[in-house]
Amino acid sequence: MRIALFEPDIPQNTGTILRLGACLGVPVDIIEPCGFPLSDRGLKRAGMDYLSIAVMTRFDSWESYLENLHPGNRLLLLSTKAATRYTDASYQPDDILLLGRESAGVPQFVHDRADARLIIPMADGARSLNVAASCALVVGEALRQLDAFPKTAG
């Protein structure tokens, strides 16, 4: 399982997702261009010392990201325009959970390439959750289904 961020534009959310990935053992792919330099202070503050243990791979474009996908990888796009609830999806170990820009989501060509689109149900009148909160919900469900949370001592 992997997390992929398509052209992220808020460093604090990216740092939080990198910290989430580090704590849960889930690698994070950054598909550039980003809306901030990856050395940004906000990214470091949100990721804290977890950035040193996070497994992060950077890709300079959507095209280069697609070239590096492996057979068996499914792109599962989190979207407010989806019909399938994230809790109704059946996750696989090689899935990639794809999240869009905080400001604009993803363009249509990314929607078109996704193998599935997943939505987080929300209360009437709510538009969307913070991208890091959305990521945590869906990664948690995927790891639960796969019994793939890191094993803890005790």
Q: Could you tell me the residue ranges of all domains in the chain?
A: 2-146
- The answer to whether the Cα torsion of 139, 144, 149, 154 is positive or negative is positive
Q: How far is CA 68 from CA 52, 56, 64, 149, 153, in A?
A: 23, 14, 7, 25, 35
Q: Percentage of the chain surpassing pLDDT 70?
A: 94
Closest CA to 134 of 118, 146, 149, 147: 118
Interval 16-40 mean pLDDT: 91
pLDDT greater than 90 at residue 40: no
The token duo for 50 is 């977890």
Quote the pLDDT of residue 113: 97
State the pLDDT at residue 98: 98
Query: 51: pLDDT confidence band, cut at 50, 70 and 90?
Result: confident
Architecture of the domain defined by 2-146: 3-Layer(aba) Sandwich (3.40)
Reported confidence tier of residue 44, pLDDT bands at 50, 70, 90: confident
**Stated pTM of the model:** 0.93
Q: For position 79, what pLDDT does the model report?
A: 95
The residue among 44 and 131 whose pLDDT is bigger is: 131
Q: Which residues, including other chains, have CB under 8 Å from residue 52's CB and lie 6 or more apart?
A: none
> CA-CA distances (angstroms) from residue 113 to 7, 31, 58, 76?
16, 15, 19, 10
Q: Please, what is the average pLDDT of the chain?
A: 92
What's the pLDDT at 148?
97
Helix, strand, or coil here: 3? strand
The 3-state DSSP class for residue 98 equals strand
Q: Which of the 8 DSSP states describes residue 121?
A: -
58: pLDDT strictly greater than 60:
yes
Q: What is the pLDDT of residue 154?
A: 53
Q: Which residue has the higher pLDDT, 120 or 103?
A: 120
